[in-house]
Amino acid sequence: MQPIPDYAMSVAEQLRSMTEAGTLKADKAQMAVAGHLDRILQDLKQRKPAAKKSALGWMFAQKRKPLQAVRGLYVHGSVGRGKTMLMDLFFKMAPVEKKRRAHFHEFMADVHARIHAHRIRLKNGETRQADPVPPVAAALREEAELLCFDEFTVTDIADAMILARLFTELFARGCTLVATSNVEPDNLYRDGLNRGLFLPFIEMLKRHVEVTTLDSPTDYRLEKLESLPVYVAPLDAEADRLMNLAWQRVTEGRPEIYTEIEMKGRVVPVPRAVGRSARFTFAELCENPLGASDYLEIARRFDVVFIDHIPYLGPAKRNETKRFIILVDALYDSSVQVFVSAAAMPETLLTEKKGTEGFEFDRTVSRLFEMRSADYLALHHANRAEL
């Protein structure tokens, strides 16, 4: 009997197959979420395709009702419970040609870049459309009818103010959203500036997605933890010595240079670089006005990043904490090898859990631990070998 190809299996069947093979532990909470994802797979398969265009189709294009979006899913829960694995399985099997999966920060960086480009075209007289959101949404929908976001979170006011309008357009055009997050929808942009203006987006989101919790009792990331000497604490002369030794080993003693990354008319300084390795202080990365797009570009340019002198974080360093969370996300998602010296171990680095940063920092802690593990480092080396 021929094995069933992956694309012919449901998410639940995939989980059962992996459990039977011994590569995964049976987990009722994960199986429950798989059921929700399988409902979306079936709805996508059964959705009727758009009517075939006739020679006179353009005459009726404006009157044609757009496809209704398949209701999506928003999965929230603690870090390390298997949300990313389930998204992997679902996205692989989703029966649509036009689909996109991205970290939410990466997606929003793309949106802002498109809006900026549209405004340049407007300024140059290349378009008469003053509002950039509808054409940006139309282009995004043309590229993908299914949007899958890892780590859906909103901490930036620029993102918060545009989301309702953007997704009103996307949902109206038949776009389906599937997202994972560490926070439930009602806690998105919690304590954010002008949050009242953001609340309509939350209500709209809940109308277009099912909301479910993945509350598995096991943190599978920490279960795999195998610490390696790439995170040094506390901050003292010994920490500096160990970081310098690691830098010498990684760079093989080659001379370092100062370089810059150009970003839309400005530059991001890289004080110390050797090939595809870079070294920064926490202050250089998180006390300057950098954002997700800057960190993603750093992660794209460099395979190894050193971060010296991370202090205790908390309410007194709220902006720096936000940037650090986004920085770790960018480096983790790009499988960058990270060497760190910090005031304390990850679980005690945040002095007070308060507001959005308190929720988000749980993910940062888990990722900092995993980035020290043998599995993560093996993935890093595998990715470097492909370059």
Residue 67 has, within 13 A of its CA and on its CB side, a CA count of 19
d(CA 357, CA 346): 14
pLDDT of residue 67: 60
**Which residue's entry shows tokens 């995993």?**
370
* Lowest pLDDT segment from 31-40, 153-162, 231-240: 153-162
Decide if pLDDT at 387 tops 60: no
The pLDDT tens digits for 191-201 are 888 899 999 99
Interval 67-117: pLDDT, tens: 667 999 999 987 768 888 899 899 999 999 999 998 887 888 899 999 999
Question: What is the pLDDT, as a whole number, of residue 379?
Answer: 65
pLDDT of residue 220: 65
Please give the pLDDT value at position 54.
47
Strand 337-342 to 304-310 pairing:
parallel
Give the Å distances, CA to CA, from 81 to 30, 78, 153, 326.
8, 6, 17, 20
* Bigger pLDDT: 373 vs 14: 14
Lowest pLDDT segment from 229-243, 248-262, 267-281, 368-382? 368-382
- Distance of alpha carbon 5 from alpha carbon 17, whole angstroms: 12
Q: What is the mean pLDDT of the chain?
A: 85
Output the pLDDT for position 184: 93
Given a cut of 60, is residue 2 above it in pLDDT? no
Please check the confidence at residue 142 and state whether its pLDDT lies above 50: yes
**pLDDT(204) > 70:** yes
pLDDT, position 380 = 58
Q: Are 134 and 169 in contact (CB under 8 A)?
A: yes
Torsion of Cα atoms, 220 then 224 then 226 then 232, to 10°: -20
Higher local confidence (pLDDT), 342 or 25: 342
Q: Is the pLDDT of residue 266 over 80?
A: yes
Work out the number of other CB atoms within 10 angstroms of the CB of residue 310: 24
Q: Is this model's pTM higher than 0.75 or not? A: no
* Residue 241 confidence (pLDDT): 92
Question: pLDDT at position 378, please?
Answer: 65
Q: What is the pLDDT of residues 27-61, one digit of tens each?
A: 899 999 999 999 999 999 987 655 444 444 434 44
Q: What is the pLDDT of residues 294-335, one digit of tens each?
A: 999 999 889 899 999 999 998 889 999 999 999 999 999 888
- Which one, of 28, 146, 47, 156, lies nearest residue 94 by Cα? 146
Q: Taking a C-beta distance cutoff of 8 angstroms, is the pair 144, 72 a contact?
A: no
Domains and CATH numbers, the chain: 6-45+66-213 (3.40.50.300), 224-385 (3.40.50)
How much of the chain exceeds pLDDT 90, in percent?
Answer: 57
